Structure formats: C-alpha cells, structure tokens
Chain A
Amino acid sequence: AQRVTQPEKLLSVFKGAPVELKCNYSYSGSPELFWYVQYSRQRLQLLLRHISRESIKGFTADLNKGETSFHLKKPFAQEEDSAMYYCALSYGNEKLTFGTGTRLTIIP
C-alpha cells in the first residue's frame, strides 16, 4: 500500500535561513508526488508537482527514487512561507494519499 511520511510535525526556521521539509514515500508503482500548502484560514492548494520540475515561490522539490524521498527546499525563508505543508502521492485515477503535514513557522 502507498504511504507518505512527513517526520516533522513542526518546523521553525529564521527568516533568511534555508528551509527543508522532509517527505518520504512508499509505493510499488511509479508515483507522482506533490506538495500542497495551506496558509492560515485558506484552503489547501497545490504548491508544486515533481513532473513539472518548477520552482514555485522559491520552493523546489526533487524526486529521489533511490531514497524514495521528495523533500521540499527553499534557500531563503520568508515570513509569508509560514503555513501547513502536505506531501502527497498520486496512485491511479488521480487519487491522493497525504502525509500528516508539517507546520512551518518562519521566525522574523
């Protein structure tokens, strides 16, 4: 069965410091990985997906099949990055399995 693990429930980072949110997955097929973000009092929204290889709001994530990881990174944290971040895996017919989420707090 597919599984997504986000080991950190809470992460605090100083403004300007690098950010890395960890995500590991287990899935026997070829997964599609996503990062979703939920800002305070807003709905869940897509941040980025591995197949597009984009950098969104300065964030990047590389799929490492050897380590079964999809860590989210940003070189310089900004206050507006404070939010809840969910890693998710898609398995057939667009169904998503979510990790438990990491609450990122940027310290001014």
Chain B
Amino acid sequence: GAVVSQHPSRVICKSGTSVKIECRSLDFQATTMFWYRQFPKQSLMLMATSNEGSKATYEQGVEKDKFLINHASLTLSTLTVTSAHPEDSSFYICSVIRLAQETQYFGPGTRLLVL
C-alpha cells in the first residue's frame, strides 16, 4: 500500500493566491522529508529538505519566502506556494526517508496550475 500521501492531487488557482500542499507519511515517522518539483518533460529538481521541528533547508535558487515549508509533526510536512504565479505551475512531489531501510518513498505528486 501507499506509504506517502499528498493532498490535493491537483489544484487550480488564480494568480496571486496561496496554495498549500500536504505530504503525509502513513506508515512511519519521518524526521526528514524532501520536496521536488517537476516541469513537463523535465527531471525532478530538489527544492528543499523539510526537517521536523526545525527550519527547512532550501536548495540554491529556491526562494524560501515563496515556498514556505512547515514540518510540524513526524508525519506531516506542508509546502505553501505563496502569491502563486503562472510560472509556479508544475508538478510538486514529496518524498519521505525510511531510515531503517535507507530508502526514499515518493508521494503521488500534486499538479498545480496557476491561471
């Protein structure tokens, strides 16, 4: 069964609004989650590392004030795209590390379309 869930699976919003995407670890507690984005026909690009109980670590070129990450519990991380613009339209995917297996499990992704 699914180990990681994401909600919503797709969202359409108007330019200027904020959108929150949830990533849940269903079977185990996760101190670390990752957020990726994928443009059409391109690869997954790591955006940030979400750490439970502390600030997220962002990759170079990713605006932390634009993409707010909150990892408030061991099973939930949220990514908020603030003041979304059409260029933020993308596929956002989270992953969770299962330390015992040293394996990353990926969520099904959230497709964001900003009009």
Contacts and interface: CB of A to CB of B under 8 A. Distances in A.
Interface string A82-100: 0000100000011111111
Contacts of A98: 43-45
Given A94-B32, A99-B43, A43 B103 contact: no
Contacts of A96: 34, 44, 46, 95, 104
Given A43-B109, A44-B93, A94 B43 contact: no
Contact of B106 (A44, A93, A95, A97): A44
A101 B43 contact: yes
Contact of B97 (A44, A86, A94, A101): A94
Interface in B83-102: 93, 95, 97, 102
Interface string B28-55: 0000101000000011111001000000
Interface in A25-72: 43-46
B81 to A, nearest CB: 21
B43 A100 contact: yes
Task: Name the interface size band of chain A.
Answer: 10 to 19
Contacts of B2: 43
B115 to A, nearest CB: 25
Nearest to A51: B102
Contacts of B44: 44, 86, 96, 98
A88 B44 CA distance: 10
A43 B107 contact: yes
Interface of A: 43-46, 86, 93-101
